[in-house]
Chain A
Amino acid sequence: MEGFDRRKFLKGSSVAVGLAGAMTVVPGAIPALAKSTQSPSATTASGHDEEVGDTVDTNEAVVAHLRDAKKGQIDLFVGTRHLTLEDKALANRILSATR
């Protein structure tokens, strides 16, 4: 324990450890937690509501949920984020496409 720096540990400056083979097998395969914008315990069912911006990574899967067609409320699930938009016209177009 000598020389141990608690802050260093908790701030994550320690190196990745593991089998060399494992490190070469899965480069980048472990989910990049640093990309997450959620808080560590962002665990309530409601998630986080955010305004839709222009920061969406188009390589990520996007799941849309038409929550309330009358109000035009659409939930978007992107990466580890939950965004909400209100767009009655888009909601109507989605509904029309299902008929």
Chain B
Amino acid sequence: MSSHREAPEISKDPVADSTDLYAFVSTDQPDTVTLIANYIPLEAPDGGPNFYEFGDDVLYEIHIDNDGDADADITFQFQFQSVLNNPNTFLYNTGPIESLDSPNWNKRQFFSVAVCENGPPRQIASGLACPPCRIGPLSTHNYGDLADAAVHELDGGVKVFAGQRAEGFYVDLGAIFDLGDLRPFEQLHNTFGLSLPGLSKPAPGVNATKNVNVHSIAIQVPSKFLTANGMNPTDPTNPLSTIGIWTTASRQQAQVRGAHNASQVSAGPFVQVSRLGNPLVNEVLIPLGKKDYWNMQQPVGDSQFATYVENPELAGLLNVLYPGVFPNLAAYVTSGQPRADLAAILLTGIPPGIVPGFQNFTGPTQADFLRLNMAIPATSKPSNLGLIGGDAAGFPNGRRVFDDVVTIELRAIAGVTLPLVDKSYTPDGAAGEVTDGLTSSATDTTADGTENYLSSFPFLGVPHSGFENPAA
């Protein structure tokens, strides 16, 4: 998945497991940027009685680098506190939850927001209510209003929301992890000599994340808050218009379980246990033996992982899995030349002069984070393929909720972006076609199960209801 359960250790710690990160110029407030960090993968909507919530013992952060040194210049910190109103019932709610202060809602959660700017954290808001999980028509029948009430407006036009949302990321997970058996191209797969029914005909993709939920931390911030010079970014060619964004989750170093009355004691410094910048990097590019280590590192040290970006294992596998389909890619892999295109897209940003009118270069320091040129305005006619679809407002210029990052990265790894840095390279015909098959066209921004994106903050749709999912 994008970063769901992507590493051995964090797969055992869902509340600290970052799943997706989004950063884009807001379509509802063009002078702002929306940042969304998702946690807790694959929430079953009906997962009661202890419905999903953020970890009270986890420090969630969204970091911004605005001067190209790959260190955080601004960090937003989020911490949560659960409140149990009635410990003598097993119920999450004892009646319909009509409002965020409903006495029927037994297990609530609140959060604080702090900001660090090259110094200690300073709290800017506290006691902010999260919405409940979407349980069903009896418990949370007016869910849209409940969620709207949990969008908090802070000073200076800042909005913040933290709570359950519908999963917006889409991927044919079953196909990809069954030895790369992309359903639209099954007839081209080598199938390892197996002749099984259903493996010989092209088929549409299946969205593995359809009808599951996540927990989102979303903050909408005026763009000028985020620039190094405090100015509104208006010039795409100005290096200060581009920022780097990544999210981390940290836990205190020492934990004692069952310390007192079955409670847990946490002590010591917070240590990073989860990290996410670009989608699929730790998931697909970093080898299994390095994934936990990668999660604990800072982006500024990512040159140590550059070889996995420049020599992706998947590029070598494509021609094995699909014999004869990617001959040019196979020859390039055999040549041993590093993939400078992938290094630029994922580790430094794209310098000026590569894509006409566009750059999101943050300097030579290799670091995995989303790079958003905030001077590129949002578009009303987006391509889910982002930059490779001719839409500079989308991935890898930041990332919007509907961007088809699986297809984009599959095509990039397959060689479609290699001519950006090597004019002599001709991509294989299949490189521009490969996909996991979940969108009907580049203008399709509603993959199966993601039809409920919102047109305004917090952009990810209302969660799927536990009563209706799984469907009868």
Contacts and interface: CB of A to CB of B under 8 A. Distances in A.
Given A31-B79, A33-B123, A34-B122, A45 B252 contact: no
A19 B131 CA distance: 12
B268 A47 contact: yes
Contacts of B122: 10-12, 33-34
Contacts, number: 180
Where chain A touches its partner, the secondary structure class is loop
A96 interface: no
Contacts of B425: none
Interface stretch (B133-141, B152-160, B383-391, B429-437): B152-160
Interface string A72-84: 0000011111100
Interface stretch (B37-45, B108-116, B178-186, B202-210): B108-116
A36 B296 contact: no
B271 A4 contact: no
A5 B259 CA distance: 46
Interface string B242-280: 000000101011101001000001111111100000000
Where chain B touches its partner, the secondary structure class is strand
Contacts of A17: 125, 128, 152-154
A83 B298 CA distance: 23
A26 B268 contact: no
A23 B120 CA distance: 24
Contacts of B224: 6
Contacts of A44: 271-272, 296, 298
A41 B298 CA distance: 9
Given A5-B156, A80-B252, A47 B269 contact: yes
Given A21-B100, A43-B272, A77-B254, 15 more contacts: A1-B222, A9-B225, A12-B124, A14-B154, A16-B125, A22-B101, A26-B127, A30-B127, A40-B72, A45-B271, A63-B265, A80-B252, A80-B270, A81-B269, A82-B268
The 9 lowest CB-CB distance pairs between A and B, nearest first, are: A12-B122, A77-B268, A43-B272, A21-B101, A40-B116, A14-B155, A77-B254, A77-B267, A63-B254
